[in-house]
Every structure is written in C-alpha cells, then in structure tokens.
Amino acid sequence: MFDRVPLIDVGALVDGVSGRAARRSVAERIGAACRESGFFYVVGHGVGAGLQAHLETLSRRFFALPVDEKMAIRMARGGAAWRGYFPVGGELTSGRPDRKEGLYFGSELGPEHPLVRAGTPLHGPNLFPEEPPGLREAVLDYMAALTRLGHSLMEGIALSLELEDDYFATRYTADPLVLFRVFNYPPGPGTAEDGRPAWGVGEHTDYGVLTLLKQDSAGGLQVKSRDGGSVRWVDAPPIDGSFVCNIGDMLDRMTRGVYRSTPHRVLNRSGRDRLSLPFFFDPGWSTEVRPIDAPALAQASAPEDSTERWDGRNVHSLQGTYGDYLLGKVGKVFPELRTQVL
Ligand SMILES: O=C(O)CCC(=O)C(=O)O
Ligand SMILES: [Fe+2]
C-alpha cells in the first residue's frame, strides 16, 4: 500500500550528456515507483513551459466555444481514425458516461501511409478545429515533444529492469502508437442522479505502456492503493511544471505484474473547469506484447488478478496484437461510434 505518488527529476535521461551512473540512478527511482504504485511525477523533462502554456490557452479557448461549433469536428466525422471532439457524457470509461468533453488526436498520418491505406483503425489524419487558429501547430509540436520524452522514459524503464536501454524501442516503440487527448471536466454536481459520484473519468487502467499527463491546477486525480482487501484512494494533486506518469497494461503484462498498471479516476470538485492533457505512448499497432525474459523478473508470477481488476480481464493471458487489445477497449468506451465507424 502506498500513500503518495513520488516525484522524480528525469533530467539525466533527457539531457543527452549525463553518463551511465546518473541515468541508472534515475532509472532506479523510476523502477521503485513502478513497483510500488505504477505512478510518479516527472520534472526536469525538458518540455518547454511556453509550449505547454500556449496549448493550454488554446485548448481553453476551444472548449469555451458553443457546443454546435465544437461538434463541427465531432468524432463520427473522423471515421475509423477515431479523432475529433466528443461532448460531455459521450465517453463511457467504465460503463457509465464520464463528466468530461474532449478532443482526440494522434500521430498525424496522411492517406499515403501504409497503415492508413490499409484502413487500420485509429490511424489517419487529425481533425483540427478552425477556431482557435494555431491549435493544430501547438498540438503537433506538443505531441512531438512528448514523443521524445516517451522514448527517454522508456530507456529509463529498460535500465530499471537491467535491460539494454533500447529494449523497448527495438521491440515495440520504434514506431509508437501515439494517442493524445485534451479533456475538459466541467464543474458540476459531485453526484449523479442515482446518487453515485459523477466521475469525470471512472476507475480504469491505461492500456499501453506509458501515459504522460499534464493537469491544470484544479486537482481531482486519484490513484488506487491496495493492500489485500483494503483500498485507499490516494490524491495525485497538481504539481506545477510536472507530468504525472503512469504505466499501462502492456508494461504490466511484459513485467508479469511487477510493474503494475494501477487503477485511477477523476472527480472534479474544484467548482471550475478542469483541463487535463493525457498523452499515451504505446506499442506499435501490430506488435505482439510478450513477457520480458530477464533476471530482474525471474521471480515474477503473472498474477491471475482478473477478479480484482476494474474490467475483469487478465492482461497476462492476452492473445494477439496490441491493436487487437486496444480496439476491444476503445469499442467499449464509445459504443455508439463503434457501430457507426468500425
Ligand atoms: O484527466 C486525468 O487526470 C486522467 C485521465 C485519464 O486517466 C485517462 O485519460 O486515461
Ligand atoms: Fe487513465
């Protein structure tokens, strides 16, 4: 059981000049956090404050538009690429509508890209709004910066498992599946009509390897800490200039449960809009994610924990590619869209 999310300065992993000892010492701290909670804050990450502030300003401007203007780029128009806007209540993370609206983005891929030509779901061009101008460039710059950071952190995670630092890049993330979302959680009642909490995002784990979340100052993110039968929800409050980093189901699978993909949820109690920007750095679509054969994981047992898991699934018994896994998940959180576009 943990009671806080640790903060790690990852400068040595991203600065391009630090030596092996400094990189390993950061990696060890990451490894400890992945084992304990699956969550950590990163600072010293090198992503420009100006770029972040610019994207935040433009995102707020977009969400402030009338809903019918936002619906001009609704997700149904993005087709199988799964891009665009969804209104409050349009996404069901754990079977119930979330109290949030959002924009879905991903790697910007043109019609000539082989995966787009083959009609691969979740691959294609983005839908950018006309208003506010500049959002397109800000989103693309931000995704490029976070993709670089994702590669650096995966090197740290590899080092933390005593693997070569390019272990994940050579097998899974040389061409990562990048999904990026900008969410706005409106202020509102803490409870739904049936008296249950009106979650901004219901309890879930993330699907891929690594999530990098930028959150504004509103707060509301909670991480599940568990010890046997007892559960405690630990706050991950905003820390200026940091990203909240958490590992996803595929890293849980690769490490046979040693690095946990930890359930989390959001309740916006701030009384104002909450803006958050989760960036998902995931294995390539057609990769088959396998357990890592490494001495550091020799004792790992791949727990059969499906009854404890939020979705009742066991990530250790998956068959197929990451794309298959992701599609199963995405179809559940957007049931209407699934029938329209897939
Ligand atoms: O908005 C947040 O703070 C968390 C969002 C999240 O957990 C997700 O999109 O997977
Ligand atoms: Fe999440």
Residue 267 lies inside a defined structural domain of this protein: yes
Q: What ipTM goes with this model?
A: 0.99
Order of strands across the sheet that contains 39-43: 7-9, 39-43, 243-247, 210-215, 274-282, 177-185, 101-106, 84-86
pLDDT at 73: 97
Output the average pLDDT for the chain. Answer: 92
pLDDT at 336: 64
pLDDT at 155: 98
What pTM, to 2 d.p., does this model score?
A: 0.95
Percent of the chain with pLDDT over 90: 76
Residue 20 lies inside a defined structural domain of this protein: yes
263 CB within 6 A, ligand 1: no
215 CB within 6 A, ligand 1: yes
180 CB within 6 A, ligand 1: no
Residue located nearest, by CA, to atom 1 of ligand 1? 276
> How many independent structural domains does the chain possess?
1
Please give the residue range of the domain that contains residue 269: 7-341
Residue 1 lies inside a defined structural domain of this protein: no
Residue located nearest, by CA, to atom 2 of ligand 1? 276
Percent of the chain with pLDDT over 70: 97
pLDDT in tens, 252-297: 999 999 999 999 999 999 999 999 999 999 999 999 999 999 998 9
pLDDT at 282: 98
Task: Work out the number of other CB atoms within 10 angstroms of the CB of residue 165.
Answer: 18
Distances (CA, A) of 159 to 9, 13, 152, 154, 166: 16, 10, 11, 9, 9
pLDDT in tens, 87-138: 988 777 777 788 899 999 999 999 999 999 998 999 999 999 999 999 999 9
Give the lowest-confidence range in 95-109, 170-184, 324-338: 324-338
For position 229, which CATH number holds?
A: 2.60.120.330
pLDDT at 265: 96
Residue 2 lies inside a defined structural domain of this protein: no
pLDDT at 62: 98
pLDDT at 339: 66
In the Cβ-directed half-sphere of 237, how many Cα atoms lie within 13 Å?
Answer: 4
